[in-house]
């Protein structure tokens, strides 16, 4: 497995890697629960995973795909589309596909699905080994 997530437990949005084709694709799982800190304050009467955290989960997944253990930083986000909210109890499947790599920069297509339905998709550019 490529580099591990450097994030503290409270900011890790991946529970498990389901599939990994090195340099090509990675699929991960996040079980969304109501006990997570971000859920408590994001619409307390109707909790939902904030879209910024959804994008972070997809970016962490892409980071696992492209990192070789070096620090990985988000350099750019393109074409974000949020299709539906992610709610407590959802099993979020996160997928990242490498589109292009050039030196330390890696462009990935990322998406999140629940029960096969796309909840969010985007394109991210990650910088591996140095800040963008």
By annotation, the residues acting in catalysis are: 42
d(CA 109, CA 121): 8
Strand partners, 74: 126
> Are residues 3 and 72 in contact, defined by beta-carbon separation less than 8 angstroms?
yes
> Are residues 87 and 49 in contact, defined by beta-carbon separation less than 8 angstroms?
yes
> Are residues 72 and 59 in contact, defined by beta-carbon separation less than 8 angstroms?
no
d(CA 85, CA 66): 27
């Amino acid at each position: 497995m490529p580099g591990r997530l450097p994030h503290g437990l409270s900011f890790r949005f991946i529970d498990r890697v389901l599939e990994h084709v090195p340099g090509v694709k990675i699929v991960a799982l996040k079980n969304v629960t109501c006990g997570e800190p971000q859920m408590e304050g994001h619409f307390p009467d109707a909790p939902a995973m904030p879209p910024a955290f959804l994008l972070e989960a997809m970016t962490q997944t892409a980071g696992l795909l492209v990192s070789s253990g070096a620090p990985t930083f988000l350099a750019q986000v393109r074409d974000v589309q949020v299709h539906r909210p992610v709610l407590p109890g959802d099993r979020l499947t996160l997928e990242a596909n490498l589109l292009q790599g050039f030196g330390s920069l890696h462009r990935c297509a990322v998406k999140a699905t629940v029960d096969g339905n796309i909840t969010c998709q985007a394109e991210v550019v990650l910088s591996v080994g140095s800040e963008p």
